[in-house]
Chains A and B, each alone.
Chain A
Amino acid sequence: MAQGGYAIELRGISKAFGPVQANRDISVAVPKGTIHGIIGENGAGKSTLMSILYGFYRADSGEILINGTPTAIPDSQSAIRAGIGMVFQHFKLVQNFTVLENVILGAEEGAMLAGSLSKARKVLGDLSREYELDVDPDAVIEDLSVGHQQRVEILKALYRQADILILDEPTGVLTPAEADHLFRILRGLRDQGKTVILITHKLREIMETTDNVSVMRRGTMVGTVKTAETSPEELAELMVGRKVLLEVEKAPATVGRTVLSVENLSVTDEHGVIRLKGVSFEIKAGEILGIAGVAGNGQSELLEALGGIARATGRVTLNGAELPLSGAGADGRSRRAAGVAHVPEDRQHLGLIMDFAAWENVAFGYHDAPEYQKNALFMDNDALRADTARKMERFDVRPPIPTLPAKSFSGGNQQKIVVAREIERNPDLLLIGQPTRGVDIGAIEFIHKQIVALRDAGKAILLVSVELDEIRSLSDRIAVMFDGKIMGFRDPETTDERELGLLMAGMTGKGEAA
C-alpha cells in the first residue's frame, strides 16, 4: 500500500479558539497512495485540523510535513502549492459560472482567459477519461446535480495538480448510487498514486473505502488503526469513549387504528414551483413511517404542510378530524392543540431561538399551557424553569442548566431540548425531520430510543431523514420520495439499499425514470 513514506505527517498540532482547545497535540501520519479516514463526533476537531492543513487557520504549535519536508501553510495558496486539494462539505463553486470557469478560477495561466480556458478544456478531457469524472465543461453549475457539482470540486483540485485530496463529509448530499460512484473515483485516484483523506461520521463508508482510519475525540487523536483490522463497533467505542449500541433495538410493531390520513397533499412554494405533488399515505397508531429521499425532493414541504407552517391543498385527517391546510387553523399552534408535535428539520432556525435560554425555548408552542400560567396576566416562569430542569434531567441534556442560552449547547443537546419539548407533550402524531443531523453518536442512540418508545406507546410517527441507515433501522414502513412524489412504499425487512437507492434517484423497480 504505502509506496515509500508519508504524504502528510502532522506532529503535535495544537489549536485553541479562546478558551476552547479544538486540537490538542495531534500527531498522525498518512502513507502515500492510501485512502485515510478521519472520524469523530461533531466538535471532535476534525474540521479544525483540516482547516489548518488547508491554510485557513494557523496551528498554535506543531509541525506539518508534506512528503517528508516540513512545510509552512499560512494560507490556502500555500496549501495548493504544496499539492493539497480540498473538497468542502458546502461546495465553493460560483453558481452562474460554467464548469470550465470554475476550474480555472485562481489557477489561470495569464491575464487573459482564452489560453487558460482552452488548456483547461484539454486537461479536463484527460482527467474525465482517467478517473470516471465526466462533466460537460460548458455546463453552468446551477444546472448540474449535486453529484456532478462535487465532481467539479474534485476536478478543480486535480487541475491544480493536487496529490493529496481532502474530502469533508462528501456523501451527505448524495444518493447511494452517487456515493458509490464517488468511492469508485476515490479508489481510482488512490490507484494512480494520489492520497485521499476522507472525513466522515459514517462508519460504513469508513469500513468500505479506507485503508487506515484515525479516530478523534474531543480535540485529541485517540488512535489510528488499519481498517481491515477493526470493526464499526470498535470505532464507535473509540469515538464516544464508551460502548455504543449501533443497532436500534425495537420489538415488532403492534399497529392500531389509523391516526393520520393524507390524501393528495400538494404544496406550491412562493416562486410558484410545485414542491409536493399530490402525495397520499396513512400512518397507524404504533407505527413509524420513514420518508427516505435525497434532500430537496419535497420532504421538507411535507413536514411543513403537516406541521401547519406551509400552505397546502389536499385532505388531511387526524383521528378522523380534518386538519385545515390553509387559512384559519393552519398554523403550528392549532396543530399542537390538535395533538401534532413537530421537531423541525432545521432546529436552529425553526426549532429554537438560539439566543434565548433553554427554559424559554421549552415554552415555545406550549407557552399558553395552563401549568405555565401564574394568573390571567402573568406566566409562571419559576414553574417553567422547574419543568425545563425536569425535562433536561429526563433527556440527559448536558449541562442541565435551564438558564443557559440555546446556542451554548452542542448540536446533540440542542436537539434533545427540542425533542424533549415535543415528545413530553405526549402527542398523537410526531413529525420529526432529520432527528440526528449534526448530532453525535451517543445522543443519536438516545434520540432513537425515545422515538421508538413513543411508537411503543401507541403513537404515530412520521420520520423524515436523508440518512438511509436511520430510516432503515427505525421505520416500520418506508416511503421513498423523489421530485415531490412518493415513488413507492417498502418494508424495511425485505427491501435493500440498492432498491431504495434506485427509487431515490427516481427509477421505478423496472429501472426506468419516473
Chain B
Amino acid sequence: MDYATLLQLLDTTIRLATPLLFACLAGLYSERAGIFDIGLEGKMLMAAMASASVAYLTGSVWMGVLAGIGASLILAGIHGIASITFRGNQLISGVALNFVASGITVLVAQRLFAQGGRTPPLEGDARFAPITLPFAAALRDVPVIGPLYYEVISGHPFLVYLGFLTVPLTWWVLYRTRFGLRLRAVGENPAAVDTAGISVVGLRFAAVAITGVLCGLAGAYMATALQAGFGREMTAGRGYIALAALIFAKWRPVAALWACLLFGFFQALALRPDVVEGVLQFKVPVTFLDALPYVLTVLVLAGFVGKAIPPRAGGEPYVKER
C-alpha cells in the first residue's frame, strides 16, 4: 500500500468517523447523567430525514441542520419524559423510539416526495460543500506533511470540523465547568446532587437535550454532507456502533475520539477491498469486510476490551428516599 492510498483511507476514515463521533458524544452526555440511551440510532435517522427534507424544500442546508436538530430533540424530549419524569425503563423507551423513527421517517419521506421513502438528491446550497483550509494548496507539495494536510485534514465539510472540535469542548465542559461536575455527579449518585440542593430532573433533562442536539448533527451530517439526501435506514446501525465506541472509550471524551476513528477506519476498509487484499496478499470476501465494524461492536459489547464500569446510577430512575 503506498502513501497516497493510505491517505485516501484516512480521509475516508475521518468522513465516516464523524457521524459516529457526534452520536458517541451525544450518548456520553446522556449516559454520564445516568440516562442510558439506546435510541441514538432513531434520533440520527429522524434528523437525517428531517434535515434532508427541509434542506431540499428550502434549498438551505442550514435550515436542514436546524430541522434535523429539532426532530432529534423531539425524540430526546420523549425519552426524557418517559425515563426522567415517569421513571420508565430507559432501554424500552429507547428501543421503542428506534422503531418509531424507523417507520415514521420512511412514511414522511414517502408522503412528501413519493420516491419510495427517499428524499430527492440534494444539490448546491442544500448540501454542505467541502472547506479547503488555508494554505492547503500551497503546502500540497511539501513532502509527507503536505499531502497529509491537503488530503486528510483539509477538504471536509463544516460539520466534520465541528465534530472534532466537540471533543475538546466536551472534555472542557465535563472536567472544567460547574455544569460538568454536576452532570458527572448526577450519573454517579443523584442523591448527592439532590441533597446539595440541585435539581436532578433539571440536570438530566439538560443532558438529554444536549444528546438530542448532537444526534441531530450526526443525522444532518449523514444526509447533507456524507451523502446527498435521505434513504431508508441510512444510518445502518451507526447509533449502536456509537454506543459500542462509548463503552470502548469508557465514557471519556478523548478516548471516544479514538474509538470512533477506529470504527471509522474499519468502515473505510470495507469500502476498499482492493487495499485489504493488497496488504494481506489474499482475497477477503467483501461481505466480511462489511461486517467487520459490527463484529467489532459485538466484541466490544461482549466485554472483550477489559472491564468498562458505566456511571453508577446509569439506567436507574431517581426516586427520593424517605
Could you tell me the distance in whole angstroms from the C-beta of A28 to the nearest C-beta in chain B?
21
Residue-by-residue, is A112-150 near B (CB-CB < 8 Å gives 1, otherwise 0)?
Answer: 111010000000000000000000000000000000000
Flag if B322 contacts A105 (CB, 8 Å): no
Report chain A residues within 8 Å CB of B179: 111
- Given the interface pairs A112-B177, A113-B178, A114-B176, the reply to whether A95 lies near B312 with Cβ below 8 Å is yes
Flag if A113 contacts B195 (CB, 8 Å): no
Flag if B197 contacts A113 (CB, 8 Å): no
Q: Complex: how many Å from CA A47 to CA B322?
A: 8
The reply on B227 being an interface residue by CB < 8 A is: no
Segment of B44-52, B146-154, B184-192, B281-289 engaged in the interface with chain A: B184-192
Flag if A110 contacts B322 (CB, 8 Å): no
Within 163-211 of B, Cβ neighbours of A (below 8 Å) are at 175-182, 184-185, 188-189, 191-198
Tell which of A75, A102, A107, A108 touches B192, judged by Cβ atoms closer than 8 Å.
Answer: A102
Residue-by-residue, is A450-494 near B (CB-CB < 8 Å gives 1, otherwise 0)?
Answer: 000000000000000000000000000000000000000000000
Flag if A86 contacts B178 (CB, 8 Å): no
Flag if B188 contacts A97 (CB, 8 Å): yes
Tell which of B175, B180, B196 touches A106, judged by Cβ atoms closer than 8 Å.
Answer: B196
Residue-by-residue, is A182-199 near B (CB-CB < 8 Å gives 1, otherwise 0)?
Answer: 000000000000000000
Interface size class of B (residues with CB under 8 A): 20 to 34
The reply on A224 being an interface residue by CB < 8 A is: no
Tell which of B177, B185, B189 touches A113, judged by Cβ atoms closer than 8 Å.
Answer: B177
Report chain B residues within 8 Å CB of A80: 196-197
The residue in chain B whose Cβ has the minimal distance to the Cβ of A101 is B181
Q: Complex: how many Å from CA A156 to CA B179?
A: 19
Residue-by-residue, is A150-189 near B (CB-CB < 8 Å gives 1, otherwise 0)?
Answer: 0000001000000000000000000000000000000000
- Given the interface pairs A112-B178, A113-B176, the reply to whether A105 lies near B192 with Cβ below 8 Å is yes
Could you tell me the distance in whole angstroms from the C-beta of B193 to the nearest C-beta in chain A?
7
Flag if B189 contacts A95 (CB, 8 Å): yes
Q: Complex: how many Å from CA A108 to CA B195?
A: 15
The residue in chain A whose Cβ has the minimal distance to the Cβ of B198 is A106
Could you tell me the distance in whole angstroms from the C-beta of A272 to the nearest C-beta in chain B?
12
Flag if A76 contacts B178 (CB, 8 Å): no
Flag if A94 contacts B185 (CB, 8 Å): yes
Interface size class of A (residues with CB under 8 A): 20 to 34
Q: Complex: how many Å from CA A102 to CA B194?
A: 13
The reply on A264 being an interface residue by CB < 8 A is: no
Residue among A94, A97, A113 facing the most chain B CB atoms (10 A cut-off): A94
Tell which of A47, A75, A86, A113 touches B181, judged by Cβ atoms closer than 8 Å.
Answer: A113
Report chain A residues within 8 Å CB of B182: 105-106
The residue in chain A whose Cβ has the minimal distance to the Cβ of B321 is A90
- Given the interface pairs A106-B182, A110-B178, the reply to whether A51 lies near B198 with Cβ below 8 Å is no
The residue in chain B whose Cβ has the minimal distance to the Cβ of A86 is B195
Could you tell me the distance in whole angstroms from the C-beta of A378 to the nearest C-beta in chain B?
38
Flag if A92 contacts B176 (CB, 8 Å): no
The residue in chain B whose Cβ has the minimal distance to the Cβ of A76 is B197
Residue-by-residue, is A80-110 near B (CB-CB < 8 Å gives 1, otherwise 0)?
Answer: 1000001010101111110001101111101
Report chain B residues within 8 Å CB of A96: 188, 312
Tell which of B181, B191, B322 touches A92, judged by Cβ atoms closer than 8 Å.
Answer: B191
Flag if B176 contacts A112 (CB, 8 Å): yes
Q: Complex: how many Å from CA A79 to CA B195?
A: 10
Could you tell me the distance in whole angstroms from the C-beta of B194 to the nearest C-beta in chain A?
7
Flag if A111 contacts B177 (CB, 8 Å): yes
- Given the interface pairs A51-B322, A112-B177, A113-B178, the reply to whether A97 lies near B185 with Cβ below 8 Å is yes
Residue among A75, A101, A106, A116 facing the most chain B CB atoms (10 A cut-off): A106
Q: Complex: how many Å from CA A106 to CA B197?
A: 7
- Given the interface pairs A94-B189, A105-B185, the reply to whether A56 lies near B320 with Cβ below 8 Å is yes
Could you tell me the distance in whole angstroms from the C-beta of B69 to the nearest C-beta in chain A?
24
Residue-by-residue, is A49-66 near B (CB-CB < 8 Å gives 1, otherwise 0)?
Answer: 001001010000000000
Report chain A residues within 8 Å CB of B188: 94-97
Q: Complex: how many Å from CA A97 to CA B185?
A: 8
The reply on A71 being an interface residue by CB < 8 A is: no
Q: Complex: how many Å from CA A56 to CA B195?
A: 9
A-B contact pairs, 24 of them (CB 8 A): A47-B322, A54-B195, A56-B320, A76-B195, A76-B196, A79-B197, A80-B196, A80-B197, A86-B195, A90-B191, A92-B192, A94-B189, A95-B188, A96-B188, A96-B312, A97-B184, A105-B182, A105-B185, A105-B193, A106-B193, A108-B181, A111-B178, A112-B177, A113-B181
The interface of chain A, by Cβ under 8 A from chain B, is 47-48, 51, 54, 56, 75-77, 79-80, 86, 88, 90, 92-97, 101-102, 104-108, 110-114, 116, 156
14 more A-B residue pairs beyond the given contacts A79-B197, A105-B185, with a C-beta to C-beta distance below 8 A: A51-B322, A56-B320, A88-B195, A92-B189, A92-B192, A92-B194, A93-B189, A95-B188, A97-B185, A101-B181, A101-B185, A105-B182, A106-B196, A113-B181
* 6 closest residue pairs by CB, A with B: A106-B196, A77-B197, A92-B192, A108-B178, A76-B197, A92-B195
